[in-house]
Structure 1
Amino acid sequence: MEIELNDSKHTRNSWMERFETYLPEVVYGSIDGIVTTFAVVAGAAGAELQINIILILGMANLFADGLSMSIGSYLSNKSERDNYQKHLHIEEWEIENMPDDERKEIEMIYRQKGFEGKELEMVVNRITSNKKVWLDTMMKDELGLSEQKKSPLKAGLSTLVAFITAGAIPLAAYILAYAGKYQIDPFILSSLVTVFAFILIGYIKTYVTQIGLLRSILETLLLGAAAAMAAYFLGDYLEKLLV
C-alpha cells in the first residue's frame, strides 16, 4: 500500500512539474487572448454593432490571433533549442580537437570568479575530467546558454489552448444573449466576467513573475481596461464618423 501511495505522489509531482514548465505560456497566452478579444468586443460595442456581427468578429479574431501567437511561441522555443544545439556541437568539437585552449578558457572563467593557485587547478581538473560537466560549464559560463527543457510543440499548444480558453470568456455573454438566455446588456455582463477572469489570471501570474499579488492583479486589470477603453471609444468615434 505504501508503494502505491508513493507512486501516486510521484505521479502528481511529475504532472505539476510539467504544468509549471509551461505555466508562462499559459499565463501570457491567457492575458493576450482575453485582452485582444475583449478589445474587439469593446470596440464593436462602442460602434453599436449587432450581436451576430460582434460574435463573427470576436470568433475570427480569437482563432486567427490564437494560431498566430501559438506559432510564434513554437518558433521562439524551437529557435532557442536549435541555437543551443548548434553551440553545443561547436563546443564538443573544440573540446575534442582543441582541449588545451578549452582548458585555458575554463581557467580564465574560474580565475575571474576568484579562484587561484592550487584551488584553481583542482577546480579546473575536476571540471575537465568529466566531458559532460566540461560542456555544461562552457555553455553556461562562457556562452550564457542553458539547455531548453521545453518541447516547442507543447509550448505552442499550451499557448493556443490558453489563448482560446481565456479569449472565449468575453464572448460568452454575447453567445448567451444571441441564444436569448439573458436580457441583461451583453457588454455589461461581458465586462463583469472579464474582470473576474483578469483577477484570476493576475493571481496565477504571480507564480511566473514572483511579484506581489495585488500588483500582479492591478497590472493585469489596468492592461485590459486600457485596451478596452481605447477600443470602445475608437469604435464609438468611427461609428459616428463613418455611419
Structure 2
Amino acid sequence: MTDIGYIHHEEHMRSSDLISDIVIGMSDGLTVPFALAAGLSGAVASSSLVVTAGIAEIVAGSIAMGLGGYLAGRTEADHYESERRREIAEVESVPEREKAEVREVFAGMGISPALQTAIADELAKDKVKWVDFMMKYELGLDEPDPNRATKSALTIGLSYVFGGLIPLSPYLLVSHPHEALLYSCIVTLICLFVFGYFKSQVTGQPPVSGAFKVMFIGALAASAAFGVARLFG
C-alpha cells in the first residue's frame, strides 16, 4: 500500500508573543480588580466607591503591567544585541575556536567529521551568516522583534484594562455593593472559566481542568479579599 496522493497535515497550537501578552494582561486584569471589588464590597455601603477605587486600580495596574512588559522586551533585545556583539568579536579574533564550535553543533546531529569540517569552512566564508548560526544554534537565541517592547506594553496594558472592566461593570448598574458583588461574581467567574479554557488550549494543557483552575484562583482571591475586608471593617 502506497501513500501516493495522501497529504499529511500536522496541527499544532503555537503560543505567539501576542497571545502570551494577552494572557498575562487578561489574567491579572480579571483577578486583581475582581478581588479588590469583592474586598471593598465587604467594607463600604456604596457601589460608587467600589467603582472609583476599581478604576484607579485598573489605571495604575495597566500602567505597571505595561511598563513591566516594555522592560522585559527591552531586556530581551539588549541581551540579544550584547551576545551578538560578543559573537562578532569572537569570529574576528578566534575564528578557529568558533569553527570548532560549529563542528560541535553538527557532531551533536550525527554528521561525519569530514562533513563537519566542510560545513564549518563553507559557513566561515560569510561572517554575517556565521554569526547568525552561532546565535541560533550555539546560544539558542532568535533575533527579537525590534518593536517587541512597545507592542508588549500596549497589549498587556490594554488586556489588563479590558479584563479589569468586567468585574467592575455590575457596580456601574447596581447601587448596593453586596448585590453588585453577586452579579460580579457570576460574570467574572464565567469569564475566568472561558479565559482559562482558551489559555489552556493555547498552552497545550487540558482545557477543562485548566479552566477550573483559573476560575478557582480568581474565586479564592476574591473570597480572601472579601473576608479580610469584613474582618477589619
Decide which of 21, 29, 34 is 2:30's aligned counterpart.
34
Give the equivalent residue in structure 2 for 1:84: 80
Equivalent position SS for 1:200? helix
Q: What is the alpha-carbon distance in structure 1 between the residues aligned to residue 139 and residue 71 of structure 2?
A: 22
Total equivalences in the alignment:
219
Query: Where do 5+ consecutive residues of structure 2 fail to align?
Result: 1-13
Give the equivalent residue in structure 2 for 1:146: 142
Give the equivalent residue in structure 1 for 2:7: none
Decide which of 64, 69, 73 is 2:60's aligned counterpart.
64
Please tell me the residue identity of whatever aligns with 2:54.
Answer: G
CA contact (8 A) 1:33 1:62 kept: yes
Specify whether residues 236 and 117 from structure 1 end up closer, same or farther in structure 2 by C-alpha distance, changes over 3 A only. Answer: same
Give the equivalent residue in structure 2 for 1:175: 172
**Segment drifting more, 150-159 vs 131-140:** 131-140
Equivalent position SS for 2:181? helix
Give the equivalent residue in structure 1 for 2:183: 189
Specify whether residues 68 and 153 from structure 1 end up closer, same or farther in structure 2 by C-alpha distance, changes over 3 A only. Answer: same
Q: What is the alpha-carbon distance in structure 2 between the residues aligned to residue 133 and residue 219 of structure 1?
A: 45
Q: What is the alpha-carbon distance in structure 1 between the residues aligned to residue 200 and residue 125 of structure 2?
A: 42
Specify whether residues 184 and 37 from structure 1 end up closer, same or farther in structure 2 by C-alpha distance, changes over 3 A only. Answer: closer
Give the equivalent residue in structure 2 for 1:100: 96
Give the equivalent residue in structure 2 for 1:214: 208
Equivalent position SS for 1:189? helix
Deviations 1:78-123 (A, max 9, x none): 1111110111122122213332221122123332443332132233
Q: What is the alpha-carbon distance in structure 2 between the residues aligned to residue 201 and residue 48 of structure 1?
A: 30
Q: What is the alpha-carbon distance in structure 1 between the residues aligned to residue 199 and residue 128 of structure 2?
A: 35
Say whether 1:131 aligns with 2:133.
no
Q: What is the alpha-carbon distance in structure 2 between the residues aligned to residue 221 and residue 205 of structure 1?
A: 12
Decide which of 149, 155, 160 is 2:152's aligned counterpart.
155
Equivalent position SS for 1:123? helix
Give the equivalent residue in structure 2 for 1:50: 46
The TM-score, its normalising length taken from structure 2, stands at 0.85
Task: Report % sequence identity.
Answer: 27
Give the equivalent residue in structure 2 for 1:14: none
Which structure shows the bigger proportion of residues in helix conformation? 1
The TM-score, its normalising length taken from structure 1, stands at 0.82
**RMSD (Å) for aligned C-alpha atoms:** 2.3
Query: Where do 5+ consecutive residues of structure 1 fail to align?
Result: 1-16
Q: What is the alpha-carbon distance in structure 1 between the residues aligned to residue 217 and residue 131 of structure 2?
A: 43
CA contact (8 A) 2:107 2:113 kept: no
Give the equivalent residue in structure 1 for 2:21: 25
Equivalent position SS for 1:118? helix
Please tell me the residue identity of whatever aligns with 1:209.
Answer: T
Deviation at 1:20, TM superposition (A): 4.5
Please tell me the residue identity of whatever aligns with 1:124.
Answer: A
CA contact (8 A) 2:42 2:178 kept: no
CA contact (8 A) 1:48 1:236 kept: no
* 4+ runs deviating over 4 angstroms: none
Equivalent position SS for 1:148? coil
Decide which of 155, 161, 165 is 1:164's aligned counterpart.
161
CA contact (8 A) 1:29 1:163 kept: yes
Specify whether residues 208 and 74 from structure 1 end up closer, same or farther in structure 2 by C-alpha distance, changes over 3 A only. Answer: farther
